[in-house]
């Protein structure tokens, strides 16, 4: 019933820039929904924790590991 995505929630390509950004961390909920958490939000208040998707323009975008794994 509730199939409208919320902020930070979208299938891969619909995430826009976040899908290919080194700062993103994909979070999968217990219900199988995928959320895109912007890790820049932890250090810079200009960036929302869960950006409204798709992100089409972002000052913090850096191409890289879209999984956000392997770095700390």
Is residue 21 part of the contact set for ligand SF4 (CB under 6 A)?
yes
Q: Which of 47, 49, 50, 54 binds ligand SF4 (CB under 6 A)?
A: 47
- 22 bridge partner residues: none
Q: What is the CA radius of gyration of the chain?
A: 12
Is residue 10 part of the contact set for ligand SF4 (CB under 6 A)?
no
Q: Which of 30, 61, 64, 71 binds ligand SF4 (CB under 6 A)?
A: 61
CA distance linking residue 40 with residue 24, whole number of Å:
8
Is residue 53 part of the contact set for ligand SF4 (CB under 6 A)?
no
Residue 54 CB coordination number (10 Å): 15
């Amino acid at each position: 019933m509730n199939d409208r995505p919320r902020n930070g929630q979208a299938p891969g390509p619909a995430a826009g820039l976040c899908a290919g950004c080194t700062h993103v961390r994909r979070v999968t909920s217990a219900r199988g929904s995928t959320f895109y958490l912007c890790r820049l939000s932890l250090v810079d208040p200009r960036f929302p924790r869960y950006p409204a998707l798709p992100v089409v323009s972002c000052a913090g975008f850096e191409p890289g590991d879209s999984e956000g794994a392997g770095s700390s």
